[in-house]
Amino acid sequence: MVTVALRESCFGASSHSLKYFYTGISEPSQGQPHFVTVGSVDGQVFVQYDSNSGRMMPRVSWMEKVGKEDPQYWNTQTDMLSGPEETFREDLETLRNCYNQSEGLHIIQRMYGCELRRDGSKGGFDQHGYDGRTFIIFDKETLTWVAP
């Protein structure tokens, strides 16, 4: 998947992690979505949303149980992604205009999450990328956004 570029710059090995990857594509191949979200726990994808289906869906059996216990859960999760999907489309267009890129394939990404490391320390991260490069990172120590 396209999120490989952002995944490479993530923190080192961890005992437990929760990560979300958002990807927006300017000109996807026929049948491919413009927007995809994937959630993972300890490297296992547990949920996925894409603009073609328009639905957040479970990807593991233990998440299917959540929908059975709370019938509105998947509707709520789906509704929460309508905002980010639209924001990604707008941000992608803004970046294309800023870089004078009127056509061609361009990709915007976000990765955020948290980790509990083997040594007991905790970490969190939020970073954005454009066309395979890290664009901006949230520095949790200074509570500011930093462009690398």
| Residue 63 maps to a domain | yes
The token pair at 44 is 């296992």
Domain coverage including residue 91:
16-146
How many structural domains does the chain have? 1
Quick: pLDDT tens for 29-79. 999 999 999 999 999 999 999 999 999 999 999 999 998 999 899 999 999
| Residue 36 maps to a domain | yes
Rg, C-alpha atoms of the chain = 16
Please state, rounded to an integer, the average pLDDT across all residues of the chain.
Answer: 89
Quick: pLDDT tens for 73-119. 999 999 999 899 999 999 999 999 999 998 899 999 999 999 999 99
| Residue 100 maps to a domain | yes
State the pTM of this model. Answer: 0.84
pLDDT at residue number 102 = 83
Query: Residue 112 belongs to a domain with what CATH number?
Result: 3.30.500.10
| CA dist., res. 22 & res. 128, Å (int) | 9
Cα dist from 82 to 12, 37, 43, 75, whole Å: 32, 11, 25, 11
Q: Is the pLDDT of residue 2 over 80?
A: no
Looking up tokens 């970073």 gives: 127
| CA dist., res. 145 & res. 127, Å (int) | 9
| Residue 8 maps to a domain | no
